[in-house]
Amino acid sequence: MQFIQSIDPIPTYRVMDRQGKIDDPLNEPQVTEEFAVKIYKDMITLNVLDLILYEAQRQGRISFYMTNYGEEAYIGSAAGLDSEDVVFGQYRESGVLLYRGFTLDEFMNQCYSNEKDLGKGRQMPVHYGSKKLNFQTISSPLATQIPQASGAAYSLKMAGQKNCVMCYFGEGAASEGDFHAALNIAATMKCPVIFFCRNNGFAISTPALEQYKGDGIASRGIGYGIDTIRVDGNDVWAIYNVTKAARKLAVEEHRPTLIEAMTYRIGHHSTSDDSSAYRSKKEVEDWKRLDNPIIRFRNWLEDKNWWNEKVESEFRTLIRKEILNAFSKAEKYRKPSITELFNDVYDHPTPNLIAQRQKLKQLIEKYPKNYPLENFRNE
The pLDDT of residue 6 is 83
379 pLDDT above the threshold of 80: no
Mean pLDDT (the chain, rounded): 96
24 pLDDT above the threshold of 80: yes
Identify the residue with better confidence: 345 or 278: 278
Q: Of 300, 337, 340, nearest to 16 (Cα)?
A: 300
Residue ranges of alpha helices (H) inside the chain are: 33-58, 75-79, 94-100, 104-112, 145-159, 177-189, 208-211, 218-223, 236-253, 281-290, 293-303, 309-332, 351-366
pTM: 0.96
Q: pLDDT by residue (tens digit) across 69-115?
A: 999 999 999 999 999 999 999 999 999 999 999 999 999 999 999 99
Catalytic residue IDs: 55, 140, 269-270
SS (H, E, C) 179-210: HHHHHHHHHHHCCCEEEEEEECCEECCEEHHH
Contact residues for 323 (Cβ-Cβ < 8 A; gap 6+)? 45, 48, 49, 52, 104
Q: pLDDT by residue (tens digit) across 268-302?
A: 999 999 999 999 999 999 999 999 999 999 999 99
Q: pLDDT by residue (tens digit) across 125-154?
A: 999 999 999 999 999 999 999 999 999 999
Q: What is the mean pLDDT of residues 317-338?
A: 97
CA separation for the pair 220, 213 (Å, rounded): 11
The pLDDT of residue 156 is 98
Q: How many residues does the chain have?
A: 379
Q: Of 194, 195, 179, 207, nearest to 264 (Cα)?
A: 207
Kindly calculate the radius of gyration of the chain based on its CA atoms and give it in whole angstroms: 22
